[in-house]
């Protein structure tokens, strides 16, 4: 049981959450250190998105969670973002009617007025592709550019922990590499990242550690350097070699 | 005798005794409550059961009252015949007011009924040559013995009792259950073959006729009518009586109607404030007690349920339920293409689901599994390609046609009627198997009673099969999530389906429950029903499927036995996203 | 006569348009249509008459106080009738809760204010009685000012963009850390101001009358329904067209037929295009 060491940023234990009557998380334990990239893998319906939503306060949850030395209980997404815990939701959901700059300014809604535009420039520095289109409507961007914008929105807050939910979904391989390369440079700046990803090889290549979820629980925790990781992951996804219960 | 009748008999008995100890003034008040109930009792099926927010029903009262009064005053028609005529006019107008409900939802529909009410009042005011305009005209005068206050009271009471009986018969029938299904689980209602247009038209005819007759009675009660008598406040009172009484109940709204009619009599200083109080009551009910009076009276659902209930399916009972043998035809999809906003969810898919087999459909997120299921069950209209059952084409975009073809399904999130009992929820599955017409049902004729008996027995069987028979009388929203999943399967089994489409039935189930679900699915298939299983739990798929299709990006990536798939290199890598 | 029709039509139409905008402001923030929209218009007139005519306040403070009172009613709508039912939007309980609140407002006004139309103070005294009477163009001015104000809000201020953001994707806005609840209350307050402005500006024309609430509720909803929910341009064009059409029909064929015609157009368009003339088709259900 990892005790809140100085280099631990997020500690979750026994987290349960769900939608109405449907329980999705059944006691999740997880820790993330400062400046660490952690990949969260698992089949559909395992509860990865639910976990991210619970941690960022978008969904109610029970259990214990501490972030940066403070309790996360009852914290709203707004408070979480103020503390440096930023969640980029799945599906590059940017505001299509607003310009790129406005999308980013909104991400800095709680920042002091004078600081906002410099933070926007700072976030755009990671993505020259969309910096050139800062006056365009976000709806006019391609899917990949919208995803970059969504990540850039997260960066406006200078997060301590950035949670990315499937940033590669629907992107071409080149763009996936592009988005993920930003994650790498963020790590160098000390930002921790929790990455939910379907592209396992790419996620493993980037991450320091990996968690795999199945049926609302963590079923695997490993360093990405471990040798038999692919085999262990396969088991986590498909279960142990199945013995048919019926003829 | 059914104990549920006792409260009605009590109320009716008290109403019969009223003349013995009350003065004539109370005859008028009592008659008013009875006349209002004739309207509210019919409207209850529309609002309380069907969930259609018709707030302007005073329009039908107005039409009925003027029809009756004009026919009597200007053409000398017999008053009783004029009531019948008012019923006919009300029924026709009821359909006209109601039809927008087939296209429009809630707020929009409420607004159209409100607009209709405004128009009718304006016409009554403007069409002076017939309605007398603002001066008005006399209402029908009834002959002896109904010409005294108590005589009219008893006449109105008889009609109120009649409407109670008729609406209770409808409410407790497949029509009533289907109405509630449209209200609370419209998508599931379509999958069980319920035709919303036909059902709503019938019910609007019924409630319109009741409102028209109530209008005729109202004209007699008032003895002289002007457009002022038909205020929007009155309309709101009818509507609020139903909601205060509780949706999906007859007794609740009946009590609500009595309370709302009598309240001003007991609190004379508050008469001016009565509409304000009703509105406050409506707000309070919606926010604090959505079940209304009916929920207060529902004692049986307060008893705590056993904790730690286990779902134990009785597979031996399946043979009695699914007695159709193995169907011959397969479900076949040919080159189906379907996109959402430019993204191809299904991109040229061929698929054959054979009878008597468990066919697994797996694939990563967004690979088109549920979309495929929705094409087969008719919710989506593909841009290209066809779906067949054997050689019969499956019409696209017409989910209500699938039940008759023997294709049943469950949903990713269980679609259920929380306020109805588990038994009633399951009986919804057999709606299309009913043989009695609406009129036979309304009058509780033998064919209707036979239907009910058969469906109840069949539903108990289906519940026993999935292991929920102990919970049959319990309100469905009290069940656990896993029990609701099995309840949906029981509902689907009511069709004796040739094919059963299951959309992630194991989601949210415990390990034990998944094992029992697997056994149930296999047993269903062995009784001749083809099962198409969309599922994320790879273990379950590999355990129970005869055949597995793997989708990726809307196309078939691999197909074969679980063993083939388990060894398929590309599948493993597609799943692992490498 | 044409001038009279046009003057009255534009004035009434501008009032409908503003009530339509009131509906839209509430809808954008919460996906809820509220029966209180028309009541806010009615209250604008009643509060104006109360503060200026009955209590003798000067026009400007009376005007500001009337709008502030309407903003408060907007916020109360959000807290009492909308927020508690947002969790179960698919049950459409908001139709009932806002209907309850709207009726309470209407009845309270009828009892405590008057059941008869009460005079509204003359604000400027411009051209008494002619087609250029202020009562005809004040609603138009209010409409233009509202459009300009909303344009400024949405294009020039961050809070305005935040309104647009929660209207487009409430979940993403919440995830981004926007104060969604405060913004929603802000939208309802703004809706109160716009509704109040509609009633205040048309006060000399429609008077301070409790039954205006129900009337504005219906005729303000027609352009919204026809133009598509949340579409302010549709609501404004539709509202003004409706006003002119209604007044013309009033003059030419009489009030009843005008009402019937409006209702018929409303029903037919909705049955053919339930999402309105400019609205997007319904989304997936399964």
- Quick one: DSSP state of residue A99? B
User: CA-to-CA distance for C71 and B562, rounded, in angstroms?
Assistant: 64
Rounded to a whole number of angstroms, the distance from the CA of A18 to the nearest CA of chain C is 15
Please, which residues 142-181 of chain C have a Cβ atom closer than 8 Å to chain A? 158, 161-162, 164-165, 168-169, 171-179
User: CA-to-CA distance for A102 and B154, rounded, in angstroms?
Assistant: 71
Q: Is the pLDDT of residue B91 over 50?
A: yes
Q: Is the pLDDT of residue B403 over 80?
A: yes
CA C114 to chain centre: 22
- What does the pLDDT look like over C14-41, one tens digit per residue? 999 999 999 999 999 999 999 999 999 9
Instruction: Write the CA distances from B477 to B462, C84, C244, integer angstroms.
Output: 19, 20, 51
User: B522 and A199: CB-CB below 8 Å?
Assistant: no
Instruction: Write the CA distances from B238 to A10, A29, B63, B106, B261, integer angstroms.
Output: 57, 55, 16, 17, 10
β partners of residue A67? A10, A70
Q: Measured between beta carbons, which residues in chain C are less than 8 angstroms from residue A95?
A: 161, 164-165, 168-169, 172-173
Q: Which residues of A199-211 are buried (b: 16+ CB within 10 A; e: fewer)?
A: bbebbbebbbbbb
State the CB neighbour count (10 A cutoff) for residue B41: 28
User: C158 and A86: CB-CB below 8 Å?
Assistant: no
User: CA-to-CA distance for A28 and A53, rounded, in angstroms?
Assistant: 13
**What percent of chain B lies above the pLDDT cut of 90?**
69
Instruction: Write the CA distances from C19 to C148, C161, C192, integer angstroms.
Output: 16, 22, 10
Q: Collect contacts of B348-353 with beta carbons under 8 A, ≥24 apart.
A: B348/B384, B348/B385, B348/B554, B348/B555, B349/B385, B349/B551, B349/B554, B349/B555, B349/B556, B350/B556, B351/B549, B351/B556, B353/B499, B353/B530, B353/B532
A230 to chain B: nearest residue by CA?
B576
User: CA-to-CA distance for C7 and B319, rounded, in angstroms?
Assistant: 77
Q: Measured between beta carbons, which residues in chain C are less than 8 angstroms from residue A110?
A: 177, 179
* Least confident among A137-141, A197-201, B340-344, C67-71: B340-344
Q: Is the pLDDT of residue B5 over 70?
A: yes
User: CA-to-CA distance for C211 and B35, rounded, in angstroms?
Assistant: 27
Strands A217-223 and A209-214: antiparallel
Q: Measured between beta carbons, which residues in chain A are less than 8 angstroms from residue B519?
A: 245-246
Q: Is the pLDDT of residue A246 over 50?
A: no
Please, which residues 62-91 of chain A have a Cβ atom closer than 8 Å to chain B? none
User: A–C: how many Cβ contacts below 8 A?
Assistant: 61
Q: What's residue A240's pLDDT?
A: 52
pTM to 2 decimals? 0.91
Q: What's residue A3's pLDDT?
A: 44
Task: Determine contact: A44 vs chain B, CB below 8 A.
Answer: yes
**Exposed (0-12), middle (13-18) or buried (19+): which is B139, by Cβ within 10 Å?**
buried
Residue of B269 and B47 predicted with greater confidence: B47
- The ipTM of this complex is 0.91
Sign of the CA dihedral with B402 first, then B408, B410, and B414 last = positive
- What does the pLDDT look like over B272-297, one tens digit per residue? 888 899 999 999 999 998 888 988 88
Reduced to 3 states (helix: H, G, I; strand: E, B; else coil), residue B136 is: coil
**Exposed (0-12), middle (13-18) or buried (19+): which is C156, by Cβ within 10 Å?**
exposed
Instruction: Write the CA distances from C24 to B448, C20, C41, C151, C275, integer angstroms.
Output: 48, 6, 14, 14, 14
CATH of A8-238, one of 3.40.50.300, 3.40.47.10, 3.40.720.10, 3.40.50.12280: 3.40.50.300
Q: Which residues of C213-227 are buried (b: 16+ CB within 10 A; e: fewer)?
A: bbbbbbbbbbbbbbb
Chains in contact with chain A (at least 3 beta-carbon pairs closer than 8 A): B, C
A81 to chain C: nearest residue by CA?
C177
Q: Measured between beta carbons, which residues in chain A are less than 8 angstroms from residue B413?
A: 22
C162 to chain A: nearest residue by CA?
A106
User: B283 and C97: CB-CB below 8 Å?
Assistant: yes
Domain ranges of chain C: 2-272
Task: Determine contact: C104 vs chain B, CB below 8 A.
Answer: yes
User: B481 and A23: CB-CB below 8 Å?
Assistant: yes
Domain ranges of chain B: 47-231, 315-396+496-578, 420-494
User: CA-to-CA distance for C169 and C177, rounded, in angstroms?
Assistant: 13
Q: What's residue A2's pLDDT?
A: 46
Reduced to 3 states (helix: H, G, I; strand: E, B; else coil), residue B557 is: strand
The CATH architecture one would assign to domain C2-272 is: Orthogonal Bundle (1.10)
The model's confidence at residue B578, banded by pLDDT at 50, 70 and 90, is very low
- Mutation choice for B interface testing from A165, A215, A233 by most B CBs within 10 A: A215
pLDDT mean over B136-142: 93
C157 to chain A: nearest residue by CA?
A102
HEC string of B419-484 equals CCEHHHHHHHHHHHHCCCCHHHHHCCCHHHHHHHHHHHHHHHHHHHHHCCHHHCCCEHHHCCHHHH
DSSP A53-87: HHHTTSS-EEEEEEETTEE-TT--HHHHHHHTEEE
User: CA-to-CA distance for B442 and B207, rounded, in angstroms?
Assistant: 12
Q: What's residue C281's pLDDT?
A: 53
- DSSP H or E run through B500: strand B499-503
Rounded to a whole number of angstroms, the distance from the CA of C94 to the nearest CA of chain B is 9
- What does the pLDDT look like over B478-524, one tens digit per residue? 999 999 999 999 999 999 999 999 999 998 888 899 999 999 999 99
Q: Measured between beta carbons, which residues in chain C are less than 8 angstroms from residue B106?
A: 92, 95
- Mutation choice for B interface testing from C85, C99, C250 by most B CBs within 10 A: C99
Tell the CATH superfamily of the B315-396+496-578 domain.
P-loop containing nucleotide triphosphate hydrolases (3.40.50.300)
Q: What's residue B163's pLDDT?
A: 97
Rounded to a whole number of angstroms, the distance from the CA of A136 to the nearest CA of chain C is 14
Q: Is the pLDDT of residue A1 over 50?
A: no
The model's confidence at residue A6, banded by pLDDT at 50, 70 and 90, is low
Structure tokens at C7: 């003057």
- What does the pLDDT look like over A180-199, one tens digit per residue? 888 889 998 899 999 998 88
Q: Is the pLDDT of residue B210 over 50?
A: yes
pLDDT mean over B528-550: 91
Q: What's residue A242's pLDDT?
A: 36
Q: Is the separation of the CB atoms in C282 and C275 below 8 Å?
A: yes
- Mutation choice for C interface testing from B48, B104, B279, B280 by most C CBs within 10 A: B279
Instruction: Using CB atoms, pick whichever of A86, A95, A110 lies closest to residue C164.
Output: A95
The model's confidence at residue A243, banded by pLDDT at 50, 70 and 90, is very low
B485 to chain A: nearest residue by CA?
A22
User: A44 and B536: CB-CB below 8 Å?
Assistant: yes
Q: Is the pLDDT of residue C275 over 80?
A: no
B413 to chain A: nearest residue by CA?
A22
Question: Is cis: bond before C279, omega within 30 of 0?
Answer: no
Rounded to a whole number of angstroms, the distance from the CA of C145 to the nearest CA of chain B is 29
Q: What's residue B576's pLDDT?
A: 58
User: C164 and A153: CB-CB below 8 Å?
Assistant: no
Structure tokens at A20: 């109405």
Q: Is the pLDDT of residue B151 over 90?
A: yes
Instruction: Using CB atoms, pick whichever of A21, A230, A242 lies closest to residue B542.
Output: A242
β partners of residue B556? B551
**Exposed (0-12), middle (13-18) or buried (19+): which is A135, by Cβ within 10 Å?**
exposed
Q: Which residues of B1-19 are buried (b: 16+ CB within 10 A; e: fewer)?
A: eeeeeeebeebeeebeebb
The model's confidence at residue A228, banded by pLDDT at 50, 70 and 90, is confident
* Least confident among B549-553, C136-140, C232-236, C265-269: C265-269
Residue showing tokens 């048919």: A244
Q: Measured between beta carbons, which residues in chain B are less than 8 angstroms from residue A242?
A: 539, 542-543, 562, 566
- The number of residues in chain C equals 286
Q: Measured between beta carbons, which residues in chain C are less than 8 angstroms from residue A102?
A: 161
Structure tokens at C283: 């989304």
Structure tokens at B180: 């509630």
**What percent of chain B lies above the pLDDT cut of 70?**
98
Q: Measured between beta carbons, which residues in chain B are less than 8 angstroms from residue A199?
A: 577-578
Q: Measured between beta carbons, which residues in chain C are less than 8 angstroms from residue A123?
A: none
User: B577 and A201: CB-CB below 8 Å?
Assistant: yes
- What does the pLDDT look like over A119-158, one tens digit per residue? 999 999 999 989 999 999 999 998 889 999 999 999 999 9
User: Across all residues in chain A, what is the average pLDDT?
Assistant: 88
Q: Measured between beta carbons, which residues in chain A are less than 8 angstroms from residue B562?
A: 242, 244
Q: Is the pLDDT of residue B400 over 60?
A: yes
User: Across all residues in chain B, what is the average pLDDT?
Assistant: 91
Q: How many CA atoms lie within 13 A of B460 on its CB side?
A: 7
Q: Is the pLDDT of residue B467 over 60?
A: yes
Residue showing tokens 């001016």: B272
- DSSP H or E run through B550: strand B547-552
Domain ranges of chain A: 8-238
- What does the pLDDT look like over B42-79, one tens digit per residue? 999 999 999 999 999 999 999 999 999 999 999 999 99
The model's confidence at residue C91, banded by pLDDT at 50, 70 and 90, is confident
User: B–C: how many Cβ contacts below 8 A?
Assistant: 110
Task: Determine contact: A231 vs chain B, CB below 8 A.
Answer: no
């Amino acid at each position: 049981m990892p005790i809140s060491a100085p280099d631990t940023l997020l500690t979750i234990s026994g987290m349960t959450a769900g939608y109405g009557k449907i329980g999705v998380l059944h006691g999740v334990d997880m820790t993330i250190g400062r400046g660490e990239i952690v990949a969260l893998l698992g089949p559909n319906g395992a509860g990865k998105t639910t976990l991210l939503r619970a941690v960022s306060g978008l969904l109610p949850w029970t259990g214990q969670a501490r972030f940066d030395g403070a309790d996360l209980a009852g914290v709203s997404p707004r408070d979480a973002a103020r503390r440096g815990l930023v969640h980029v939701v799945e599906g590059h959901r940017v505001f299509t009617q607003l310009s790129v700059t406005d999308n980013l300014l909104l991400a800095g809604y709680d920042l002091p007025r004078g600081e906002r535009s410099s933070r926007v420039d700072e976030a755009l520095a990671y993505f020259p592709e969309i910096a050139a289109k800062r006056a365009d409507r976000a709806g006019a961007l391609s899917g990949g550019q919208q995803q970059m914008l969504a990540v850039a929105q997260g960066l406006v807050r200078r997060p301590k922990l950035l949670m990315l939910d499937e940033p590669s979904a629907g992107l071409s391989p080149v763009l996936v590499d592009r988005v993920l390369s930003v994650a790498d440079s963020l790590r160098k700046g000390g930002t921790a990242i929790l990455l939910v990803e379907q592209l396992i090889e790419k996620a493993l290549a980037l991450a320091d550690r990996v968690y795999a979820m199945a049926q609302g629980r963590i079923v695997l925790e490993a360093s990405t350097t471990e040798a038999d990781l692919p085999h262990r992951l396969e088991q986590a996804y498909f279960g142990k070699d199945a013995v048919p219960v019926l003829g | 005798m059914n104990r549920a009748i006792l409260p009605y008999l009590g109320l009716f008995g008290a109403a019969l005794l009223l003349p013995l100890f009350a003065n004539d003034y109370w005859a008028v008040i009592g008659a008013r409550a009875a006349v209002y109930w004739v309207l509210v009792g019919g409207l209850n099926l529309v609002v309380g059961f069907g969930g259609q927010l018709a707030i302007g029903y005073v329009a039908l009262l107005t039409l009925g009252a003027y029809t009756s009064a004009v026919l009597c005053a200007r053409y000398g028609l017999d008053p009783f015949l004029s009531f019948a005529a008012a019923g006919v006019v009300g029924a026709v107008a009821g359909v006209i007011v109601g039809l927008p409900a087939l296209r429009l939802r809630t707020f929009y529909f409420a607004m159209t009924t409100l607009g209709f009410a405004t128009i009718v009042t304006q016409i009554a005011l403007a069409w002076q040559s017939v309605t007398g305009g603002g001066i008005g005209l006399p209402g029908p005068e009834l002959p002896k013995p109904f010409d005294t206050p108590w005589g009219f009271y008893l006449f109105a009471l008889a009609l109120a009792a009649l409407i109670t009986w008729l609406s209770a018969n409808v409410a407790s029938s497949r029509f009533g259950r289907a109405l509630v299904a449209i209200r609370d689980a419209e998508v599931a209602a379509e999958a069980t073959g319920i035709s919303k247009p036909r059902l709503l038209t019938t019910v609007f005819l019924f409630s319109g006729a009741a409102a028209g007759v109530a209008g005729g009675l109202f004209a007699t009660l008032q003895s002289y009518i002007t457009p002022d008598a038909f205020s929007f406040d009155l309309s709101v009172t009818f509507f609020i009586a139903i909601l205060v009484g509780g949706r999906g109940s007859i007794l609740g709204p009946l009590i609500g109607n009595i309370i709302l009619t009598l309240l001003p009599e007991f609190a004379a200083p508050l008469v001016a404030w009565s509409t304000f109080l009703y509105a406050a009551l409506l707000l309070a009910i919606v926010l604090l007690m959505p079940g209304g009076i009916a929920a207060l009276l529902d004692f049986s659902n307060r008893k705590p349920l056993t904790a730690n209930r286990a779902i134990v399916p009785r597979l031996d009972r399946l043979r009695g339920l699914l007695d159709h043998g193995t169907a011959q035809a397969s479900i076949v999809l040919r080159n189906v293409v379907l996109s959402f906003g430019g993204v191809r969810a299904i991109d040229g898919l061929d698929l054959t689901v054979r009878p008597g087999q468990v066919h697994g459909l797996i694939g990563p997120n967004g690979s088109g599994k549920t979309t495929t299921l929705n094409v087969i069950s008719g919710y989506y209209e593909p841009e290209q390609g066809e779906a067949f059952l054997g050689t019969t084409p499956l019409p696209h975009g017409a989910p209500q046609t699938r039940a008759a073809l023997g294709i049943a399904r469950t949903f990713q999130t269980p679609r259920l009627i929380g306020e109805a009992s588990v038994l009633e929820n399951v009986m919804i599955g057999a709606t299309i198997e009913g043989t009695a017409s609406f009129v036979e049902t309304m009058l509780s004729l033998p064919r209707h009673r036979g239907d009910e008996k058969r469906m109840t027995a069949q539903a108990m069987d289906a519940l026993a099969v999935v292991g929920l028979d102990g919970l049959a009388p319990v309100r469905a929203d009290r069940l656990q999530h896993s029990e609701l999943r099995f309840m949906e399967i029981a509902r689907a089994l009511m069709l004796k389906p040739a094919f059963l489409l299951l959309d992630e039935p194991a989601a949210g189930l415990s390990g034990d429950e998944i094992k029992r679900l697997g056994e149930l699915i296999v047993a269903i298939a062995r009784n001749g029903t083809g099962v198409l299983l969309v599922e994320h739990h790879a273990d379950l798929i590999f355990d129970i499927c005869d055949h597995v299709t793997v989708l990726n990006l809307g196309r078939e990536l691999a197909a074969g036995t679980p063993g083939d798939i388990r060894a398929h290199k590309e599948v493993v890598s597609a799943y692992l996203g490498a | 006569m044409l001038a009279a029709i046009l003057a009255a039509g534009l004035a009434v139409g501008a009032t409908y348009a503003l009530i339509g905008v009131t509906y839209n402001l509430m809808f954008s923030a919460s996906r809820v249509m509220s029966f209180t929209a028309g009541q806010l218009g009615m209250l604008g007139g009643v509060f104006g008459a109360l503060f200026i005519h009955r209590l003798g306040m000067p026009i400007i403070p009376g005007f500001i106080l009337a709008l502030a009172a309407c903003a408060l009613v907007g916020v109360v709508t959000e807290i009492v009738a909308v927020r508690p039912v947002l969790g179960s939007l698919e049950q459409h309980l908001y139709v009932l809760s806002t209907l309850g609140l709207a009726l309470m407002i209407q009845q309270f006004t009828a009892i405590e204010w008057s059941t008869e139309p009460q005079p509204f103070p003359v604000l400027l005294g411009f051209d008494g009685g002619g087609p250029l009477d202020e009562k005809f163009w004040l609603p138009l001015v209010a409409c233009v000012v509202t459009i300009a104000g909303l344009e400024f809000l949405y294009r020039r201020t961050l809070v305005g963009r935040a309104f647009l953001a929660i209207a487009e994707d409430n979940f993403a806005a919440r995830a981004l850390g926007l104060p969604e609840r405060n913004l929603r209350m802000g939208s309802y307050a703004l809706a109160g101001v716009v509704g109040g402005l509609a009633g205040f500006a048309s006060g000399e024309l429609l008077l301070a009358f409790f039954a205006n609430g129900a009337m504005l509720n219906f005729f303000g909803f027609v352009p919204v329904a026809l133009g598509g929910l949340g579409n302010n341009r549709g609501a404004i064009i539709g509202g003004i067209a409706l006003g002119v059409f209604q007044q013309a029909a009033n003059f030419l064929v009489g009030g009843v037929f005008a009402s019937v015609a409006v209702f018929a157009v409303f029903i037919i368009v909705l049955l053919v295009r339930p999402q309105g003339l400019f609205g997007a088709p319904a989304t997936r259900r399964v």
